Amino acid sequence: MPPNQNLNKSIMSDIASRVKAIIVDKLGVDENEVVNEASFTNDLGADSLDTVELIMEFEKEFDIQIPDDQAENIATVGQAISYIEDAKK
């Protein structure tokens, strides 16, 4: 595998672990519950204010801007990770 691919995988796994750490911290959920398929509202118990705060934390942590219309489409852990990975490319 070319060195860049290893670096990209490392960066992506770092993003995933940072996203999950933010979710555990902000929602007070168990780390084992924070899987890619988990919905912020249905599985992790977030309300609308929690989801707004999560988006704001992601923006701050990763130094990105997530427009409101895009933020509305981020409903699961995996969607958040994918969005941030794409934004950081």
Residue 73 DSSP code: T
Q: Is residue 16 in some structural domain?
A: no
Q: Is residue 81 in some structural domain?
A: yes
Helices (H), the chain: 3-27, 48-62, 68-71, 77-87
Contact 61, 21 (CB under 8 A): no
Q: Is residue 83 in some structural domain?
A: yes
Q: What's the whole-number average pLDDT of the chain?
A: 90
Q: What is the pLDDT of residue 3?
A: 47
Q: Is residue 6 in some structural domain?
A: no
| pLDDT average, residue stretch 65-84 | 97
The total of structural domains in the chain comes to 1
Q: Is residue 74 in some structural domain?
A: yes
Q: Six-digit token pair at 78?
A: 């995996």
pTM of the model: 0.86
47 a catalytic residue = yes
Q: Is residue 34 in some structural domain?
A: no
pLDDT in tens, 1-43: 444 555 555 655 899 999 999 999 999 999 999 999 999 999 9
Q: Which of 25, 47, 63, 86 is catalytic?
A: 47
Q: Is residue 52 in some structural domain?
A: yes
| pLDDT average, residue stretch 67-82 | 96
Range of the domain at 63: 48-88
Q: Is residue 35 in some structural domain?
A: no
